[in-house]
Amino acid sequence: MNKQVPVSLPEGYVEFYKNLETWQNKQQFKLKKAYTPVKLDATKILAESNNPIIGSVEFELDGGLYKEVYKELLVLIKEYRSETAAALDKILDNIDQLDFSFLPIKLLEEDQKYFSELSARLEISNELLIFTIDHSLRPFLRLWAEPYYSAIAEDDFRSWNFATICPFCGTKSHISRLRATDGRRFMFCDRCFTEWETRNLYCVYCGNDNPDTIQYLAVENDTAYQVYTCEECKGYLKTFDERPKGMKTDLFIANVETIYLDILAQEKGYTNHDND
Binding site for Zn ion (CB under 5 A): 166, 168-169, 171, 189, 191-192, 194, 203, 205-206, 208, 230, 232-233, 235
Residue with smaller CB distance to Zn ion, 122 or 145: 145
Residue with smaller CB distance to Zn ion, 124 or 188: 188
Residue with smaller CB distance to Zn ion, 74 or 190: 190
Residue with smaller CB distance to Zn ion, 94 or 271: 271
Residue 229, helix vs strand vs coil = strand
Closest CA to 107 of 126, 94, 122: 126
Q: Is the CB of residue 42 less than 8 Å from the CB of residue 148?
A: yes
Residue with smaller CB distance to Zn ion, 114 or 149: 149
- For the CB of residue 163, give the shortest distance to Zn ion in the complex, in Å: 10
- For the CB of residue 124, give the shortest distance to Zn ion in the complex, in Å: 26
Q: Is the CB of residue 6 less than 8 Å from the CB of residue 263?
A: no
- For the CB of residue 30, give the shortest distance to Zn ion in the complex, in Å: 21
Residue with smaller CB distance to Zn ion, 76 or 206: 206
Q: What angle do CA 61, 78, 75 make, to 5 degrees?
A: 40
- For the CB of residue 17, give the shortest distance to Zn ion in the complex, in Å: 17
- For the CB of residue 207, give the shortest distance to Zn ion in the complex, in Å: 7
* Chain center to CA of 238: 13
State the DSSP string of 28-79: HHHHHTT--PPP--HHHHHHHH-S-HHHHS-----HHHHHHHHHHHHHHHHH
Dihedral of the alpha carbons of 25, 26, 32, 35, in degrees to the nearest 10: -100
Q: Is the CB of residue 265 less than 8 Å from the CB of residue 202?
A: no
- For the CB of residue 200, give the shortest distance to Zn ion in the complex, in Å: 14
